[in-house]
Chains A and B, each alone.
Chain A
Amino acid sequence: MLAIEVSDLRKNYGDVQAVAGVSFDVREGEVYALLGENGAGKSTIVEILEGHRTASSGRVEVLGVEPATAGRDFRNRIGIVLQSSGVESEFTVREVIELYGGCYRQHLDADEVAGLVGLDEKVDARIGSLSGGQRRRVDLALGIVGKPELLFLDEPTTGFDPSARRKSWDLIERLGSAGTTVMLTTHYLDEAERLADRVGVLSRGRLIAEGTPEDLINKVSGTVVSFMLPDSVEPDEAASTFGPVLGVDVRVSGRLVEATIDHPAAAVNRLTSWALEAGVELDSLSVGRASLEDVYLALTEDEGDEQQ
């Protein structure tokens, strides 16, 4: 069964296309991540799926209904964690959980929800006294209080410290394994890699790749060679120096040089020979398996090339 079906979705703001023909499906019980930089169209797509915005064209079906015109029953079955939306700061955590929970057909107990999101100790504190990360957990609490079948999480861990992120990941994983369908947007690659069953990579309003994190990483079919730029080479000469040596285009960010290579043995051999001849050291030289980050960079680079 499909929880979400999107085909050829478009959203225009005037003459600007924020979403330019996107199609994907999310299966029931799946954790699906939309990955993309800011402005790629993630939030626009999610808000259309939630019913907060209407599509300019295309077909969208969520839990078997069209979200833009769906009513109360639909909203009873979904949970929404928006990117930025406040909670009444004059109320305590318990009060808002009970208040929002009270409008669903069924809801979890306030203490239970507070425990799930790690706010047990703050359950009687006013929202106004909480830190930013704690408020974000209140958002999560209000997203799950109505026992949703489908949970939308729009950048759920942005602004979290590492330990809070890990806790939220644990919670999302638990929800996922308990059968809740989760539609997640993120610009953290490690988040998508850790949580998602499948990832859709979004760039400039288009879905440029889709698959399990494994699939996507395998698609790059390569090994990532990276090292620190030696002092003898200027950053703007890095591409012209190492491109020919490695036989592929290299990416330079700061002093880090990276390249994704299909046959690393020969390339690494040429690279180390070059270094020996030039008499320089290649600090932090590493040869490793591609990560989702490499996939993402490779994909968005291609996109950028096509656009130019």
Chain B
Amino acid sequence: MPFPSTAKLIAIQTRYQLVSFWRIPVAVFFTLGLPLVMLVLLNALFGSSTTETAAGSWPTSHFYTTGLAAFTAVSATYTNLANMVPIRRDEGVLKRWRGTPLPTWMYVSGFILSAVVIAFIGVVLMLTLGVVAYGLEIDPAKMPAAFVTFVVGVSTFAALGMALASLVKSASSAAAAANATILPLAFVSNVFIQVDDAPRWIEILGSIFPLKPFVEAFQDCFAPFVEAPAFNWGSLAFIAAWGVLGLVVALRKFTWEPSGSAPRGRRARRAAVDA
């Protein structure tokens, strides 16, 4: 009997991670619910104003819709993976899978593909709400750019999420590290506020990390003052470079076992042997 085909196994794994996501209410709320709530609140508060950018101006409700759509894609990949992978590692689930004939890369693929699907659902939800409730206009000529930007963005943030999951050893600190990195960054990355007139250091901070380039590139695909096809190749290359960095860290540092199961450090080893 041959093994089930790779495509089938990856499909099963992706489905299993999706089912698992939908069965964890807190994950669904923070990944998909909270950005929607933020969108409704921010638009109720500030949505009727106009956002000025260097290139032109557009309704603030459209700025929020597209910025938060991009942010949802990031939270579905980066935050979600940095949360869930260490939880599965702490539970010993990763170690169990490593003892099965499923190649480990297929397991990881299922995790990442499920995150991409969740990101896609989140972005579509956001944009639909934008069109229906806030009059966001979708220009079909710019959708290829939106799609490519989405793919580059979720790949990068999934790789960075896996990198963080590899660097941080326990599930509780991984969740904290994910939020502590992405939330402050969101404030300087055009998600909640257009940062054109911000102090120089804030602009620099935003431009070092991939969040702002991603959010801007995605917003450009919907902004009326940007001409089709709206591909922002420079930003995409910059974002992808971060993705490669994340991938290298994840590949080098990823661990399958809960921390503490293999004794680290001389004292822990002695304790383990004497126990």
Spell out A's residues near B (CB within 8 Å).
Answer: 13-18, 38-39, 50-53, 72-73, 75-76, 78, 80, 82, 84-91, 99-100, 102-106, 142, 146, 205
> For the complex, is B248 an interface residue (Cβ under 8 Å from A)?
no
A12: nearest chain-B partner, CB-CB = B269
Q: Are A82 and B96 in contact, with the CB atoms below 8 A?
A: yes
B264: nearest chain-A partner, CB-CB = A13
User: Considering the chains assembled together, what is the distance between the CA atoms of A15 and B263 in angstroms?
Assistant: 12
Q: Are B101 and A99 in contact, with the CB atoms below 8 A?
A: no
Q: Which of B1-9, B131-139, B176-184 contacts A (4 or more CB under 8 A)?
A: B1-9
A residues less than 8 Å from B272 (CB atoms): 13, 16, 18, 39
B21: nearest chain-A partner, CB-CB = A90
Which of A13, A72, A105, A142 touches B103 (beta carbons < 8 Å)?
Answer: A72
User: Considering the chains assembled together, what is the distance between the CA atoms of A156 and B265 in angstroms?
Assistant: 29
Which of B4, B12, B269 has the most chain A CB atoms closer than 10 A to its own CB?
B269
B residues less than 8 Å from A78 (CB atoms): 99
A residues less than 8 Å from B4 (CB atoms): 102-103
B275: nearest chain-A partner, CB-CB = A39
> For the complex, is B16 an interface residue (Cβ under 8 Å from A)?
yes
Interface residues on B, range: 20 to 34
- What's the nearest-Cβ distance from chain B to residue A85, in Å? 3
A residues less than 8 Å from B19 (CB atoms): 90-91
Which of A15, A89, A103 has the most chain B CB atoms closer than 10 A to its own CB?
A103
Q: Are B269 and A90 in contact, with the CB atoms below 8 A?
A: no
- What's the nearest-Cβ distance from chain A to residue B221, in Å? 36
Which of A14, A39, A146 has the most chain B CB atoms closer than 10 A to its own CB?
A14
Which of B12, B23, B100, B272 has the most chain A CB atoms closer than 10 A to its own CB?
B100
A residues less than 8 Å from B257 (CB atoms): 52
A145: nearest chain-B partner, CB-CB = B100
Known contacts being A16-B270, A16-B273, A103-B9, is A82 close to B101, with CB within 8 Å?
A: no
Q: Are B3 and A105 in contact, with the CB atoms below 8 A?
A: yes
B residues less than 8 Å from A146 (CB atoms): 100-101
- 20 extra interface residue pairs, beta carbon distance < 8 Å, beyond A16-B273, A85-B95, A103-B9: A16-B270, A16-B272, A18-B269, A18-B273, A39-B275, A72-B101, A82-B95, A84-B92, A85-B91, A85-B92, A89-B91, A91-B20, A100-B96, A102-B9, A103-B101, A104-B101, A105-B2, A106-B1, A142-B96, A205-B273
